[in-house]
Structure 1
Amino acid sequence: MTWRALRDRLPTRWNLSKKGIELNSLLCPICNQSPELIDHVLWNCPLTYEIWHKVFMWLDLSFPVINSFDASFDWVEDLRVNPHAKHIVRSILGVTAWKFIWKFRNDSIFSLKRPIRQDILDSTVDLSYV
């Protein structure tokens, strides 16, 4: 999923509409405030922005001043830490984006039961320790 997100190849509402698929709305299904673009749903949506702040606090890293998901991976490359630590941070970024944010987005659209926001961070921390 991460490589697809970094290449803007996820089936966001915006990308689906560009392929000619008619949708009721192009707005983000999580916040209903902005068009659902990759960078919005994975980085700038108010919920995902809050999740990323919590993840970076948990990692004891300053929140990067960037505006896109792919820029977060460039930011990791510039960190002054050893390669193993960079690999861990990249893995946490990918796990958070795929397993929790994208899954939360899909559950918000397709599940009968609305997902619980607080579970995203708790689950990210749990899975990242495995």
Structure 2
Amino acid sequence: MERLPTRLELTKRNIQVADISCPLCASGDETAAHLFTACCFAAEVWAKVSRWCKVPYLVAFSFKDIIQAHLHCGLKGKEQLMYQGIVIITCWLIWKARNELVFSGKPPKAEDVFCSIKSVSYLWFKYRSKCIDISWDRWCNFA
């Protein structure tokens, strides 16, 4: 719905932004679609998530494609539910890494973001999900 305050969206709302390029890769205008699908930093993170979850590499052309990725990943039942949560957490942590770069000048590392994805998603599922009881070792091997 274009509500994420990316640099391009901010300019559309008459907020002055010095540069509308993606702060993570500088290879395109910062839109939600670019940030989560076309940005080379995000692509590196998605590749790590895909290998970890043992699903095909996520090819997405829009943010909607990302949100619906769990429907086309080949997983069923609890694993599909887990992957859906991991995708949402991945988006949040990519956005968080972007904000740390923009507001604190801290350049993100894809490996650090990926490690955060594993730990945050494990804690979320372990303590918030009623249908998934899983150990850290099993989680690291994606169920």
**TM-score interval w.r.t. the shorter chain?**
0.7 to 0.9
Q: How many residues align?
A: 123
Deviations 1:52-107 (A, max 9, x none): 01101100001133322320233322344334322211110111111x20011001
Q: What is the distance in 2 between the residues matched to 1:82 and 1:19?
A: 41
Q: Which structure's relative contact order is higher, taking Cα pairs within 8 Å and 6+ residues apart? A: 1
TM-score after normalising by structure 2: 0.77
TM-score after normalising by structure 1: 0.84
Q: What is the distance in 2 between the residues matched to 1:40 and 1:110?
A: 19
Say whether the 8 Å CA contact 2:7–2:17 is kept in structure 1.
yes
Aligned to 2:68, what secondary structure does the other structure show? Answer: helix
Say whether the 8 Å CA contact 2:55–2:73 is kept in structure 1.
no
Alignment partner, residue 32 of structure 2: 38
Structure 1 unaligned segments of length 5 or more: list them.
1-6
Alignment partner, residue 60 of structure 2: 66
Aligned to 2:23, what secondary structure does the other structure show? Answer: coil
Alignment partner, residue 117 of structure 1: 110
Alignment partner, residue 29 of structure 1: 23
Larger radius of gyration: 2
Q: 1:63-102 to 2 correspondence within 5 Å?
A: 63-98=57-92, 100-102=93-95
Q: What is the distance in 1 between the residues matched to 2:36 and 2:71?
A: 19
Q: Sequence identity, in percent? A: 31
Aligned structure 1 segments of 4 or more residues deviating by more than 3 angstroms: 78-81, 112-117
